[in-house]
Structure 1
Amino acid sequence: MKRYIVMILAALMAVSIIGCGQSGDLFPESTAGDTAQTEPVDEAGMKVGYLLPSGTDTTDTDSRIEGIRQMQYETGLKDSQVFIRTDVSRDDCASRIEELVQEGCNIIFACDDRYENTVLDAAQQYPDVQFCQEGGTKAKKSGLNNMHTYYVRLYEAYYAAGVISGMKLNEFLNSGRITSSECIIGFVANEDSPEVTSCINAFYMGVGEVCSQASMMVRYTDGGGDYDADAEAARQLLEAGASVMSQFTSTTGVATICAENDIPIVGNAVNIIDVAPSEALTSAVADWSVYYTYAVNSVLEGKAIDVDWCGGYDHGSVILSQLNDTHIPDGGTDRLIEVEKSLRDGDAKVFDIEKFTVNGESLATLAEEEEDYQKYAKSIRNGEYQESSKRSAPSMDFFVDGVEE
């Protein structure tokens, strides 16, 4: 069984990526304010830089590089105009930015929120270079015209995948494979963060739409890119009784364990059907090319880049990967079409506050009465907690009832 997923696009094999560097206009909803136009850049002189935290043997890097290649297809940029630095630690970030600036990059994407303070310093030092920080929160307050933050509503894809997983649990219940007390979901996560928590909660909410008796257990691996840690966390969840699994990790360790134990699995970042042919249902995937293309086109055309940008199903920024048609529950495809349409149209309420509680209380009540929850009040509108409505980076740091660490 493969430990890691191979690159999806053949083009990736032809480009040298250093730890290295040789390598329709889209304007989704913005959550923030003032922007400034720049001078257009001639396409032949355009150069784009990327800072990636992991190596090319992890799924999160695969996903972003696939987005980069799609951006190139959309914009016409050549490999020689794109500079990718992988395995960039927080301590190395400043020197890698300097390298990209010296290469002549007009725009630099920092693909880890741990880089943000360093990127802010660089944006002040190099005002003619546009800096785009994934998962950042400080661009708006910085007042810098060349500093931008962005993220995607990945939780929407987890919600949709949760519906399919809930239907799979019902299939197991109806066939007698499990009892109601065994209606347990396992979730392996690489870190405890709002980004991950929003996806865990959304997945559980999706499951609950069709299988109300389900509960969820979460195990953290305290880091990214550790295959053995991911696999061990999956084993622990199976020993604790998990009947369906999902993940927010950057290796295929969880999928491999599920394949060995005949446990349905929802992956993340990339398609995992080649790793778990009989167990993978689908994967929650961010299509980073949507933002990359938008931002690069903005520089090419001399248009302002949104200070804080967030896209979801409505703009194709999140999707589910290929469905494993052989193993999707009966009626699952039709139900998924309905769910995804409601997400694209803006009709779905992923975090409907009438459908969940936190420590036995309504989130609306907690936001009014408890100091620790008052920060969520601004995001509760029309009976829904609207994650990423006030800023692109997720802010959810609580679990809904039914989810346990």
Structure 2
Amino acid sequence: MKKIASLFLVLILAFGTLLTGCQSSSNQTKSTDKSSDSKKLKIGFLYVGPVGDGGWTYSHDAGRKYLEKELGVTTIYKESVKEDTAEVQKVIEDMINQGVNVVIGTSFGFMDGMEKAAKKHPDVKFMHCSGYKTAENMSTYFGRMYEARYLSGIVAGMKTKTNKIGFVAAYEIPEVIGGIDSFALGVQSVNPNAVVKVAWTHTWYDPAKEKEAAKALLDQGADVITQHQDTAGPQQAAEERGAFSIGYNTDMRDKAPKAYMTAPVWNWGPYYVKQIKAIQDGTWKSESYFGEMKDGIFDLAELTANAPEGAKEAVEKAKADILSGKNKVFQGEIKDQTGAVKVPAGQVMTDKEILNIDWLVQGVEGQIKK
């Protein structure tokens, strides 16, 4: 009888163990399913500057915060990441080890590092701002900021009294060159006698150096300063000299209130929400997004009282023409600095040509080091 009871007890224990094993397996599967659930996302942002730069990085971080608020997703970020392939890869690996499954890189110089990381981690989604390399799990995104640059050029062209406008520029890459050209075309549309003088800093974030570059342009007679930089240094230099300024990336009126007139500004939040929703819905696909002003990804900030009389009306008319497609900005005839026709009358530059532009339009003073 004891033997039968013992055998029965063994059978019960064995059956209990089997049940326990099944439950463990079930829980493990459930946990795995949760971790692979597309709605359980953790997004990592790589920034080229500090979030407090008030410009480029600040605008992306505002987009990150908007994303968190709208979708309730978890995000992390790393600021002041060097534009070095090995460094970018290291930061991405650290993020992935923290559970990140979507990586967003916000500077052109992150491109090669992100491409390598994307190949190594096919299960992670990558989005790169302003680059041109894509993969099945890596998109690129940017906006036709040249449209807003053109509008800001109208303001500058109407404001200048010396017909000399200074442009503090970062690097000789298409993104910056195209911005200079479109700005100059906007200037020339209202003031064909004005010239745009360029000073290169080879920095994205160096307030002191960028301010000094603006001072040099002011010394050459410029009475309006604009920029493709991440700080308000150039505008502060303008204010100190009694000149006027046009910012970039964000509305910087509080940084130089006596000089600031307007700025082409970014609005990344809605784009980030749209992309993350697509990942959650399983509809996301790699693409090369080149947004237009009508998409809401960028715009020209409201003009201040420092802007010239009649500028608001001129900007509104030009903006309406851009939104309707009547004004393509880069439409011929356009000549380069040597006087050679680069875009014949009646023709419009293609997106590929704009994204690879390496020449300055007639009326711009400054050289591109290649």
TM-score of Structure 1 vs Structure 2, range by shorter chain:
0.7 to 0.9
Counterpart selection for 1:345 from 319, 324, 331: 324
Ranked by relative contact order (alpha carbons within 8 Å, sequence separation 6 or more), the top structure is 1
Cα contact 2:43–2:76 (8 A) shared by 1? yes
Match among 43, 47, 50 for residue 48 of structure 1 = 43
In structure 1, the residue matched to 2:76 is 83
Residue from 111, 122, 125 that aligns with 1:116: 111
2:63 aligned partner, one-letter code: G
Of 291-300 and 353-362, deviating more is: 353-362
Alignment of 1:298-309 (within 5 A): 298-309=278-289
Asked whether the equivalents of residues 40 and 303 of structure 1 are also in contact (C-alpha less than 8 Å), the reply is no
Give the conservation status (yes or no) of the 8 Å contact 1:41–1:302. no
Partner of 1:103: 98
Match for residue 323 of structure 1 among 279, 296, 303:
303
**Contact 2:124 2:137 (C-alpha < 8 Å) held by counterparts:** yes
Query: Match of 1:67?
Result: 63
- The answer to whether 1:335 aligns with 2:299 is no
Counterpart CA distance in 2 for 1:339 and 1:226 is 33
Note the residue ranges of structure 1 that are not aligned, 5 or more in a row.
1-38, 170-177, 366-380
Q: Distance in 1 between matches of 2:107 and 2:334?
A: 33
Higher mean C-alpha deviation, range 63-72 or range 230-239? 63-72
CA distance in 1: counterparts of 2:193 and 2:325, whole angstroms: 27
Which structure 2 residues correspond to residues 159-308 of structure 1 after superposition, within 5 A?
A: 159-169=150-160, 178=161, 182-308=162-288
Which residue identity does 1:236 align to in structure 2? A
- Alpha-carbon shift at residue 390 of structure 1 (Å): 3.1
Q: Distance in 2 between matches of 1:226 and 1:321?
A: 24
After superposition, give the CA deviation of every residue in 1:230-286 in whole Å (9 maximum; x if it has no partner): 111111001101021110111111111111112111000111211211210111112
- Contact 2:335/2:343, CA 8 A, preserved across alignment: no
Do 1:40 and 1:299's aligned partners in 2 also have CA atoms closer than 8 Å? no
What percent of counterpart residues are identical?
27
Residues 123 and 130, structure 1, Cα contact 8 Å, conserved in 2:
yes
Q: Does 1:156 find its partner at 2:147?
A: yes
Question: 1:147 corresponds to which residue?
Answer: 138
Which structure is larger by alpha-carbon Rg, 1 or 2? 2
Deviations 1:309-360 (CA, angstroms, capped at 9, x unpaired)? 1102021111112321x22222221222222222222221212222544411
Give the SS at the match of 1:398: coil
Runs of 4+ in 1 over 4 A off after TM superposition: 39-42
Report if the CA contact (8 A) 1:40-1:300 is conserved: no
Q: Is the 8 A contact 1:314 1:343 kept in 2?
A: no
TM-aligned CA distance change 1:308 to 1:261, over 3 Å: same
TM-score, normalized by length of structure 1? Answer: 0.77
Task: Normalising by structure 2, report the TM-score.
Answer: 0.84
Establish whether residue 395 from structure 1 lines up as the match of residue 356 from structure 2.
yes
**Native 8 Å contact 1:313 1:340 kept in 2:** no
Q: Which has the larger share of helix?
A: 2
**How big is each residue's C-alpha offset from its partner over 1:349-394, in whole Å with a ceiling of 9 and x where there is no partner?**
21222254441121147xxxxxxxxxxxxxxx952224xx238x82
1:385 aligns with 2:364: no
- Whether the 8 Å contact between 2:332 and 2:346 is mirrored in structure 1 is no
Secondary structure at 1:363's aligned position in 2? Answer: strand
* 8 Å Cα contact 2:334/2:361 also seen in 1: no
- 5+ long unaligned stretches in structure 2: 1-34
User: CA–CA distance in 2 between the matches of 1:291 and 1:112?
Assistant: 16
d(CA) in 1 for partners of 2:110, 2:334: 36
Q: CA contact under 8 A between 2:337 and 2:364: conserved in structure 1?
A: no
* SS of corresponding position for 2:77: strand
Change (3 A) 1:310 1:302: same
Q: CA deviation at 1:168?
A: 1.4
Q: Do 2:334 and 2:341's aligned partners in 1 also have CA atoms closer than 8 Å?
A: no
Matched-pair contact (CA < 8 Å) for 1:49–1:105: yes
Residues 323 and 40 (structure 1 numbering): CA distance in 2 closer, same or farther, change over 3 Å? Answer: farther
Q: 1: distance between equivalents of 2:113 and 2:255? A: 37
Q: Distance in 2 between matches of 1:40 and 1:362?
A: 55
Q: For the residues of structure 2 that align with 1:359 and 1:186, how far apart are their CA atoms? A: 20
Contact residue 128 and residue 139 of structure 2 kept, 8 A? yes
Per the TM alignment, residue 184 of structure 1 is displaced from its structure 2 partner at its CA by: 0.7
- Tell me by how many angstroms 1:116 deviates: 1.6
